[in-house]
């Protein structure tokens, strides 16, 4: 691992950025927050609409209020995502245990970044009253491209940045806490801070299983 976090190469960042869900109480400098957001805004978007907005929450009381919503949302979502006790394999079990623990202690993360979709920037991708997305894949996709840029920039600065979504089960409560206008919705909550735990290789399916040559029935790679 590079001495100065920023010295890591792009591929090292891509391969070691993972969803770390434990944080130290080391404060995150304002400058680091600005830098990861700046990186987020370098993402592509349809017609360069840049339909993202970010609400950074640092105040302990507001983080606690968000954590309370998140905990209740996870209690509901958990029934569908599964109990760690019943996980089929060890990696799934570990992910569920970590997710469960995060829901208990979400506000251990010193910085919450709500990554939002601003429908007023979507032009032809939304109805004129902004009520209905006409191209949801592009709209949400743009925000997710920004989120991934943010996560990689955080990795380069030695920060863990984990995207979460279950709070959306209680979106109206979150909207109130953040005073969001009606045409803005949250897409993800990225919890960020200095990690307790190592960056490290991620577990992913091999290319041979997920990439095809020309047609679905021809693997791109032969073993």
Ligand X SMILES: Cc1cc2nc3c(=O)[nH]c(=O)nc-3n(C[C@H](O)[C@H](O)[C@H](O)COP(=O)(O)O)c2cc1C
Summarize as ranges the residues that interact with ligand X (CB under 6 A): 18-19, 21, 95, 99, 102, 162-166, 202
Helix (H, G, I), strand (E, B) or coil at 97: helix
Q: Which is nearer to ligand X, 22 or 58 (CB)?
A: 22
Q: In the bound complex, what is the minimum distance in angstroms from residue 39's beta carbon to ligand X?
A: 17
Nearer to ligand X (CB atom), residue 130 or residue 145? 145
User: Using CA atoms, how far apart are residues 116 and 110, in angstroms rounded to an integer?
Assistant: 19
State in angstroms the smallest separation of the CB of 21 from ligand X.
6
Between 14 and 56, whose beta carbon lies closer to ligand X?
14
Q: How many CA atoms lie within 13 A of 201 on its CB side?
A: 3
Query: 152's torsion region: left (phi>0), alpha (psi -120 to 50) or beta?
Result: alpha
**What is the closest distance, in whole angstroms, from the C-beta atom of residue 220 to ligand X in the complex?**
22
Question: Closer to ligand X at the Cβ: 81 or 183?
Answer: 81
- Name the one residue in this structure whose structure tokens are 């979460």: 164
Neighbours of 50 (CB within 10 A): 16
**Shortest Å distance, C-beta 192 to ligand X:** 13
The position carrying tokens 């735990």 is: 197
Q: Can you say whether residue 191 is alpha, beta or left, with left for phi > 0 and alpha for psi between -120 and 50 degrees?
A: beta
């Amino acid at each position: 691992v590079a001495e100065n976090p920023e010295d890591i190469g792009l591929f090292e960042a891509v391969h070691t950025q993972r969803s770390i869900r434990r944080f130290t109480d080391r404060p995150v400098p304002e400058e680091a927050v600005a830098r990861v957001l700046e990186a987020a805004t370098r993402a592509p978007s349809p017609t360069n609409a840049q339909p993202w907005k970010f609400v950074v929450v640092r105040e302990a009381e507001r983080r606690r209020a968000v954590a309370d919503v998140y905990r209740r949302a996870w209690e509901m979502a958990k029934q569908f995502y599964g109990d760690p006790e019943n996980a089929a394999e060890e990696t799934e079990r570990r992910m569920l245990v970590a997710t469960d623990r995060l829901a208990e202690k979400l506000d251990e993360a010193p910085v919450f970044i709500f990554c939002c979709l601003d429908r007023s920037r979507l032009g032809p991708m939304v109805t004129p009253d902004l009520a209905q997305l006409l191209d949801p894949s592009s709209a949400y996709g743009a925000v997710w491209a920004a989120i991934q840029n943010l996560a990689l920039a955080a990795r380069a600065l030695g920060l863990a940045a984990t995207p979460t979504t279950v709070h959306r089960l209680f979106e109206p409560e979150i909207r109130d806490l953040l005073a969001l206008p009606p045409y803005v919705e949250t897409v993800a909550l990225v919890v960020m801070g200095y990690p307790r735990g190592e960056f490290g290789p991620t577990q992913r399916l091999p290319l041979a299983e997920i990439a095809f040559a020309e047609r679905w029935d021809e693997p791109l790679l032969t073993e």
